A and B are shown apart, each in its own frame.
Chain A
Amino acid sequence: MRTINADDLIIPIANKIKHALTHVNGKVLQKLKEAQSTETSPLCKWALGQIVENDEIAAHENAYACQDCGQAVLFVSAGQDLHVSGNLTAALNKAVELGYETARKSVADPLTRTNTQTNTPAIIHYDIVSGDRLEVRYMAKGAGSENMSRIYMLTPSKGINGIIESAVDCVKRAGSSPCPPVILGVGIGGTMDVAALLSKKSLVYESENKRADELELERKILEAVNRTGIGAQGFGGSVTALGVHVLTAPTHIGMLPVAITVQCHSDRKFVYTA
């Protein structure tokens, strides 16, 4: 059996977090540049130009792309043939604490609002998979966009159109608040909690292992959302979302849960494998 030491993960993951917070996901930056060139609304074109300039300054100067460095969300896949010695959860939280050492501390008790001062605890989801590897997928989740995330408990009769309408409703209600252009994670199926989890997970797995009908649904949702005319920063334009990621799971015959995680354009994430 392969063995790794949990404490050996701390420094490499902390360094990956530091890098991610100052370097917006390259694919998203490319999409922002494309949107800047195709957008016809002058106000949105200006907004997209400011965002691109910001992301380039941040990467060049190792400055935080956004002051809201978010709550750390980690999806961990652990191979069942791997033995991790030490305390994995504690090591991951330590990595987050170190990774956010000079970042803004944005995590507080929900009732007293007392700041934990370490940006921990991180939100950690574990999956047991086959093999002997450990994979950690990170995303920074800011509040401006997360406050606009929603869940819709549809009935099965609402079907594909109901799913698309839910995404459009979510984006319309969000309007200018989540820093559009946004990226949508859409979790469909399971129970209420599973749909919400899938909506997050879809954002870190993106288009891996998708069925053809899931890819088609992603395209349809993206088109529908961009027809809302909200545009960058809600200034009224054609690019409201840069991408849509769908993940599905079987659900009860009497249910159709649809959860939508709204992610801002400041898409900061990485995949680490040990």
Chain B
Amino acid sequence: MKSEIKSFTLPLTQADIKSLKCGDIISVSGTVHTARDAAHKRFAEALRKGEPLPIALESAAIYYCGPTPAAEGEIIGSCGPTTSSRMDDYAPMLIEHGLRVMIGKGKRSEAVNAAIKKHRAVYLAAIGGAGALYKHKIKSCELVAYADLGCEAVRKLYMQDVQLLVATDSDGNTCLL
């Protein structure tokens, strides 16, 4: 199976996104920003007020993740995906503002899948409960915003060769049960 895995670098181009089909396992490298419940709430409040976000959303990738703190001398702690559906109320708004790649675990709402289709985005599934595995794939980690949120703060990560499943493709097809 490994020989079939194609590699992609973030940010994904529109051609990259178009080529991804539901059920593909791909290897992804590049920059993502972490954000989960509390950060999404702040993003949404800022967008409603017309205030700038701490990260640029154009062609961006967000990883739904709240890592464990890094041990001394390490880049990051365990950092697997959290349940994506908790971000479903916010995701369509972020997609409208340019977000193109979401990484998390579990199925999305119909509204999110519709927004993915409309704006040609993609949702990639990581393996829930594999935090130690992903820890090894993170080559840099930088605190970007909302430090007061602790593990829920926004961090800029560089990930290398992370295997992910295309869970909702840009045609809106989804393969999660």
How long is the Cα–Cα vector from A69 to B131 in the complex, in angstroms? 10
Contact of A104 among B1, B77, B83, B107 (CB under 8 A): B77
A67 beta carbon closer than 8 Å to chain B = yes
User: Is B85's beta carbon under 8 Å from chain A?
Assistant: yes
What is the predominant secondary structure among interface residues of chain A facing chain B? loop
User: Can you name the residue of chain B whose Cβ is closest to the Cβ of A228?
Assistant: B177
B80 neighbours in A (Cβ, 8 Å): 54, 66-68
Check if A104 sits within 8 Å of B133, measured CB to CB.
no
The smallest beta-carbon distance between A247 and chain B, in angstroms, is: 25
- CA A234 – CA B132 in complex, angstroms? 21
Q: Which of B58-113 contact A (CB under 8 A)?
A: 65-69, 71, 77-80, 82-83, 85, 105-107
Inter-chain pairs besides A64-B77, A104-B69, 16 sampled, C-beta below 8 Å: A47-B165, A51-B129, A63-B131, A64-B132, A66-B130, A66-B132, A67-B68, A67-B80, A68-B80, A69-B68, A144-B128, A177-B105, A229-B177, A233-B176, A234-B177, A236-B177
Determine if B53 is an interface residue (Cβ-Cβ < 8 Å). no
Interface residues of A (CB under 8 A from B): 42-43, 46-47, 50-51, 53-55, 57-58, 61, 63-69, 102-106, 113, 115, 117, 143-144, 147, 175-177, 179, 228-231, 233-236, 264-266
Number of B interface residues, CB 8 Å? 37
The answer to whether A65 and B127 have CB atoms under 8 Å apart is no
B105 and A233 form a contact (CB under 8 A): yes
Contacting pair A67 B66 (CB below 8 A): yes
A143 to B151 alpha-carbon distance, docked (Å): 15
Assess the B132–A176 pair: CB atoms within 8 A.
no
Q: A64-B77, A104-B77 are in contact. Are A233 and B68 (CB under 8 A)?
A: no
How far does the alpha carbon of A69 sit from the alpha carbon of B78 in the complex, in Å? 10
Contact B135 A179 (CB under 8 A): no
Interface pair B78/A65, CB less than 8 Å apart: yes
Seen from chain B, the residues whose Cβ lies within 8 Å of a Cβ on chain A are: 1, 23, 25, 38, 65-69, 71, 77-80, 82-83, 85, 105-107, 125, 127-133, 135-136, 150-151, 163, 165, 175-177
Q: Which residues of B contact A266 (CB under 8 A)?
A: 129
Q: A50-B130, A64-B78, A233-B128 are known contacts. Are A176 and B107 too (CB-CB below 8 A)?
A: yes
Chain B residue contacts of A51, Cβ below 8 A: 127, 129-130
Contacts of B132 in A (CB 8 A): 54-55, 57-58, 61, 63-66
Contact A57 B136 (CB under 8 A): yes
B127 touches A231 (CB 8 A): no
